[in-house]
A and B are shown apart, each in its own frame.
Chain A
Amino acid sequence: MNFARPDAFLVFIPLAAVIIALYLLRMRRREMQVPATFLWPTHTEEVRANTFFQKLKPSWLLFLQLLALAVIVGCIARPQLVQRGLTGEITVLVLDSSASMGATDVAPSRFEEAKRLARAAIESARPGDRIAMVEAGPVPRVVFSLSSDPVRQLADLQSLQVTDAETDVGEAMRLASAIVSGTEGARIVLLSDGVFERIDDFSQGKASVVFQSIGKSGENLAIEAFGASESQRGKLLFASVRNFGDKAVTTNLTVFADGKVIDSAQITVSPQKSQSRTINVPAGSTLFEAKIDAKDGLAADNYAALSADPAASLQVLKVGGEDPFLDRALALDPRVTLDRADSLPLDGGSSYDIVVFDGVPAEPTTSRGVLILGKAGTGSPVTASGTAKRPRFTGATTNPLMQGVDLDGVYIEEIEVVQPKGSAEVLARSAAGPLIVADKKPSQRSVYLAFSPLESDFPLQIGFPIFVSNMLDFLGGRAGEGPLVVPVGRPFSLPATTPTASLKVPDGDDVRLKSNGGAVTIREAKRVGTYSFRAGNAERKLIAVLQSPRESALAPEREIALAKKPVKSTDAPLRFADFWQPLVLLGLLVLSAEWWLYARRS
């Protein structure tokens, strides 16, 4: 035991001296005449005093009062016990709910083990300890804020469920740090298997970080790739199965076309190796699925799906600077798989459906579509002749690309003054020149925006994501009404003509969704499986799949890096726990005893 404020003991001596001085006073007794005194006991109790002075006599009252004073001073000195426990006085528990936490190498699962640890931490917290919880899910969120209400905390913890998605643990840690980084002695406890992207941007402030690694084994088999390609022999399916474990595993790989088995083969995959298979696809199929029947650590990555519609999946390459608004708007489209690069690849982007030049001059590409933002180049449908400051919007055409997009009133700092080339069509115009230009060549479609979105307040307008969606339809082609394959856990939006829509999730529950600006944002597709989206009379099948080598590599990490600073896994760190509550109880007992003795003697 140690004391947080040992200097408090200095007040004991003067206070004890005052108490002893009171016992040096003696009693002036009231005189009373009685028939005889010999029957009265000669024993007296000095419990009161009203005059000076007498010799100090041993007294239980004096002893109890000094003891009570010692206990009170002891409380003020804040005695502390050193003990082990996940929680401190102020703790933020960060619970990883990513797909890898669904692994069953720890019974019943890593996530349930994390919940058990969190539950034990909450239940073992001392009265007055404040705990918050952040779920590191697809979208990090505060499950409960700093409080000392274990009943509500346990109820909120119980409601948490693991997802089959990739998660952003870094963002969750930054959220936790924002809650307690300014508090001395606070603690951020990460309950995770360590299977997440390296966290470079993180500052823990005054808080300490505790990482408890969960998981034992990395044995897992996953469908790491499932795609289609056109060949001279027709359409081919490509399926690749990877063994992330240390032992060779044999499994059956079965491929379905519209629910019918078109191929099934037993494959043996060596440790840390992949085994692939190519299959001819029957004509007219709309949906392909692949399954492996391995009894491995994670079931979510044993299934993959692929839509036959080329527009149902868009591979987008963004070249240039950072634009979170554009990234978010692109990510909202369920068809988009976004890659980023500083410059155009040597193959000219032929493996991508759409290339976006964000703030860099457009180069010629072989992709189906090109989006140029702010800087015309050789690959753009315009010719630049200068710049203009704060142009005034003058009007737009009724082209479907501009449906739902209103640039009137949008503030634009600067535009390129351009002239459309060839068949390019001006869709929106300002007083200084074209704002949006589109070109629809048979080999390639392109859209040019005369300004960078970050140099305007266009990304803050409701028309921006609609413009991006229209642009994707224009450049990539509008997807059919067939099943839509989406990455599990990633929020996306779907058009909805009715104010409300519903989503039937794999376990059968219906989730009601509200439409906003003609679209519904879906965040509920957190588990792998088939969903049914209904808006009015329109119904669409959604298939959420996990294809994440990062999540499939289940081997738990015993050390993680936070802003390049290593943090080792620890079972339960030491903490100083205040010990004043039992002392207060003892003080009350001593004072009660003192009062009882006083009342009995007086």
Chain B
Amino acid sequence: MDLLLPPRTFRMLEGLRVSPRKSQPGRVRGERLTRRAGLSIEFADYRDYAEGDDLRHLDWNVLARLDSPVMRTYRDEEDLAVHVLIDDSPSMAFGEPTKLMVARNLAAALGYIALCSGDALLPVRLGRREAPLSALRGRSSFGRFAAWLGREVADDAPTSLSTSLRSFANSRNRAGVAIVLSDGLDPEAANAIRALVGRGHEVWLVQILSDLDLRPDLEGDLRLIDGEGGRPTDITANSIALRKYQENLRQHNESLADAAKRGGGRYAVYETSRPLEAFIRDTLKREGWIH
């Protein structure tokens, strides 16, 4: 599997940063300003001197003019937890290229941005039972991340997207930006995303859909076998059924978007036939996901 992005894409990603809508508490000092006072060079406010304060932050000019000791305070800088959740459920194996491959490439791009901007990258594979990877930091960690992405995980009993998301939400993960790269084709996906939001994560849902999902070219009397292992469904693929499918898909996608945006998150649909660079440029950058 070719996970390496072309050099042109890497150049495009240089200097970009993940742009969360809200501030998230950091664990270690990083390059991302927080609301808390800290030690960065970013001026925040003045306050009265208190005993024990670091005299290096005393504003000597104010003391000289007003004869009153005033302390300068600065904003703190922390890292941001960027959870990249890749849906590896069976439904992601459809499409040409497969939705999973598109998700991995997009994850590589977003992960590179996070690593380069000093954020903590926490990759998770949804739908497979796998030990979680520890937080990755720094550009040098991209190699490990790429290797993780390229690894095939065999699992005889894959779990559904919603189950995996609920499991992630219930784990003691640090709150941050949860970038979910999935086709969302699970009737409980919206509820699972709401659970994720409820745990304090800012959910960014990129719904990756193939032509087969968006414009199914089916005809005749069929027995549909569910890629996720659900019950087979007998249909007559006529104009009525196709219209009904489109309507159901629209409603399902709206519920996913609503669930993601309710907690201040973001939502976008990524068609597998669309080039990655175009999606990053025209959707992620233009809509402010990254800057």
Chain B residues lying within 8 Å of A32, measured Cβ to Cβ, are 218, 222-225
Asked if B226 CB lies within 8 Å of chain A CBs, one says: yes
Kindly report which residue of chain A lies nearest to residue B216, judged by CB atoms: A34
Residue of A40, A46, A601 touching B233 (CB-CB under 8 A): A40
Q: Is the CB of B239 within 8 A of A600?
A: yes
- List B contacts of A31 (CB < 8 A): 222-225, 232
Q: B68 near A: Cβ within 8 Å?
A: no
- Chain B's closest residue to A34 (CB) is B224
A35 and B224 alpha carbons, distance in the complex (Å)? 9
A432 at the binding interface (Cβ < 8 Å): no
> Is B7 among interface residues, defined by CB-CB distance under 8 A?
no
Min CB–CB distance B115 → chain A (angstroms):
31
* A38-66 to B contact mask, C-beta < 8 Å, 1/0: 11111111111000000000000000000
Q: How far is the CB of A72 from chain B (nearest CB, A)?
A: 27
User: What is the distance, in angstroms, from B128's C-beta to the closest C-beta of chain A?
Assistant: 17
Given contacts A32-B218, A42-B233, contact A37 B224 (CB under 8 A): yes
Query: Given that A27-B221, A45-B238, A601-B236 are contacting pairs, would A36 and B186 also be in contact in the complex, using a CB cutoff of 8 Å?
Result: yes
Contact partner, B227, options A27, A33, A41, A47, Cβ 8 Å: A33
Determine whether the beta carbon of A37 is less than 8 Å from that of B230.
Answer: yes
Known A-B contacts A31-B223, A32-B225; the reply to A41 vs B238 at CB < 8 A is no
Chain B nearest Cβ from A44, distance in angstroms: 5
Bound-state CA distance A551–B221 (Å) is 84
CB–CB A37/B248 < 8 A: no
**Taking the complex as formed, is B240 at the interface, i.e. its CB lies under 8 A from any CB of chain A?**
yes
Point out the residues of chain A lying under 8 angstroms from B241, CB to CB.
40-41, 43
- The answer to whether B248 touches A41 (Cβ under 8 A) is yes
Shortest Cβ distance from B193 into chain A, in angstroms? 16
Q: Which residue of A lies closest to B209 (CB)?
A: A35
Residues on B with C-beta less than 8 A from A33 are 224-225, 227
**Which residue of A is nearest B251, CB measured?**
A39
Residues of A within 8 A of B57 (CB): none
Query: When the two chains form their complex, are residues A35 and B238 in contact, meaning their CB atoms are under 8 A apart?
Result: no
Complex: how many Å from CA A45 to CA B216?
18
Distance between Cα atoms of A32 and B221 in the complex (Å) = 10
B187 close to A (CB within 8 Å): yes
A41 and B224: CB pair below 8 A? Answer: no
Could you tell me if B220 and A37 are in contact, using CB atoms closer than 8 angstroms? no
User: B50-94: contact bitstring with A at CB < 8 Å (1 yes, 0 no)?
Assistant: 000000000000000000000000000000000000000001101
A44 touches B231 (CB 8 A): no
With contact pairs A31-B222, A32-B222 given, residues A39 and B238 touching in the complex (Cβ less than 8 Å): no
CA of A600 to CA of B244 in the docked complex: distance in angstroms? 14
Q: Which residues of A contact B119 (CB under 8 A)?
A: none
Interface range, B side: 35 or more
A-side contacts of B228, CB under 8 Å: 35-36
Give A30 to B223 CA distance when docked, in angstroms: 6
Which residues 158-194 of B sit at the A interface, judged by CB distance below 8 A? Answer: 183, 185-187
Q: Determine if B232 and A41 form an interchain contact, defined as CB atoms under 8 angstroms apart.
A: no
Q: Is there contact, CB below 8 Å, between A39 and B220?
A: no
The residues of A that contact B223 with a CB separation of less than 8 Å are 29-32
Q: Do A36 and B227 contact each other (CB < 8 Å), given the known contacts A31-B222, A41-B245, A48-B221?
A: yes
In the bound complex, residues from chain A placing their C-beta under 8 Å from that of B12 are none
- Are B232 and A37 neighbours in the complex by a CB distance under 8 Å? yes
Residues of A within 8 A of B240 (CB): 41, 43, 600-601
- Inter-chain CA distance A34–B229, complex, in Å, is 10
Q: Mark A558-602, 1 if CB is under 8 A from B, else 0.
A: 000000000000000000000000000000000000000000111
Q: Could you tell me if A601 and B222 are in contact, using CB atoms closer than 8 angstroms?
A: no
Tell me, in angstroms, the Cα distance from A42 to B249 when the chains sit together: 14
* Complex Cα gap A33–B233 (Å): 10
Contact of A41 among B186, B187, B218, B244 (CB under 8 A): B244
Q: How far is the CB of B22 from chain A (nearest CB, A)?
A: 32
Q: Which of A29, A34, A40, A601 contacts B238 (CB 8 A)?
A: A601
- Whether B249 lies near A39 (C-beta < 8 A) is yes
**From residue 6 to 39 of chain A, which have CB atoms closer than 8 A to chain B?**
27, 29-39
Complexed CA–CA distance, A48 and B228 (Å): 29
User: Which residues of A sit under 8 angstroms from B91, Cβ to Cβ?
Assistant: 35-36
- Interchain nearest-CB distance for B226 vs A (Å): 4
When A47-B236, A602-B236 are in contact, do A37 and B221 touch as well, CB less than 8 Å? no
Determine the distance from Cα of A30 to Cα of B225 in the docked complex, in whole angstroms. Answer: 10
Contacts A601-B236, A602-B238; is A36 near B222 (CB within 8 Å)? Answer: no
B2 on interface, CB distance cutoff 8 Å: no
Cβ of B238: which chain A residues have Cβ within 8 Å of it?
45, 600-602
* A186 to B187 Cα, complex, angstroms: 77
Residues of chain B with a CB closer than 8 A to A44's CB: 221, 234-236
Minimum distance in angstroms from B191 CB to a CB of chain A: 14
Q: Given A40-B245, A602-B220, decide whether A35 and B213 contact each other with a Cβ distance below 8 A.
A: yes
The chain B residue sitting closest to A601, CB to CB, is: B238
Contact residues in B for A45 (Cβ distance below 8 Å): 221, 236, 238
Q: How many Å lie between the Cα of A31 and that of B238 in the bound state?
A: 16
Residues of A within 8 A of B139 (CB): none
CB distance from B99 to the nearest CB of A (A): 8
User: Please, which residue of chain B has its CB at the minimum distance from the CB of A29?
Assistant: B223
Expressed in whole angstroms, the minimum distance between the Cβ of A28 and any Cβ of chain B is: 8
Nearest-CB distance from B208 to chain A (Å)? 11
Which residues in A have their C-beta under 8 angstroms from that of B94? Answer: 34-35
Known contacts A43-B241, A44-B235, A601-B236; is A35 also within 8 Å of B212 by CB?
Answer: yes
Contacts of B92 in A (CB 8 A): 35
Across the interface, do B230 and A36 meet the contact criterion of CB distance under 8 Å? Answer: yes
A27 to B244, CA, bound (A): 22
- Which residues 338-360 of A sit at the B interface, judged by CB distance below 8 A? none
Closest B residue to A38 using CB positions: B187
Q: A41 CA to B240 CA in the complex, in Å? A: 9
Cβ-based interface call for B285 (8 A): no
How far is it, in angstroms, between the C-alpha of A39 and the C-alpha of B215 when the chains are bound? 13
In whole Å, how far is A40's beta carbon from the nearest beta carbon of chain B?
Answer: 5
Q: In whole angstroms, what is the CA distance A188 to B223 when docked? A: 70
Nearest to A43 among chain B residues (CB) is B241
Q: Is the CB of B224 within 8 A of A40?
A: yes
A269 to B65, CA, bound (A): 157
- The interface residues of chain B lying within 8 Å CB-to-CB of A27 are 221
In the complex, A39→B213 CA distance in Å? 10
Q: Which residue of B is nearest A45, CB measured?
A: B236
Q: Is the CB of A35 within 8 A of B235?
A: no
Report the nearest B residue to A48, measured CB to CB: B221
B252 on the A face (CB < 8 A): yes
Chain B residues contacting A34 (CB-CB under 8 Å) are 94, 212, 216, 224-227
Binding site for B on A (CB under 8 A): 27, 29-48, 600-602
Instruction: Identify 8 new A-B residue pairs, CB closer than 8 A, beyond the known A29-B223, A43-B236, A602-B236.
Output: A29-B234, A30-B220, A31-B225, A36-B185, A42-B235, A44-B234, A45-B236, A600-B239
Name 21 interchain pairs, CB-CB below 8 A, sorted by A.
Answer: A29-B222, A29-B234, A30-B222, A31-B225, A32-B222, A32-B225, A33-B227, A34-B94, A35-B183, A35-B212, A36-B186, A36-B227, A37-B231, A40-B241, A40-B244, A43-B240, A43-B244, A48-B221, A601-B238, A601-B240, A602-B238
Shortest beta-carbon contacts, A-B, top 6 = A35-B91, A36-B185, A45-B236, A29-B223, A41-B244, A37-B233
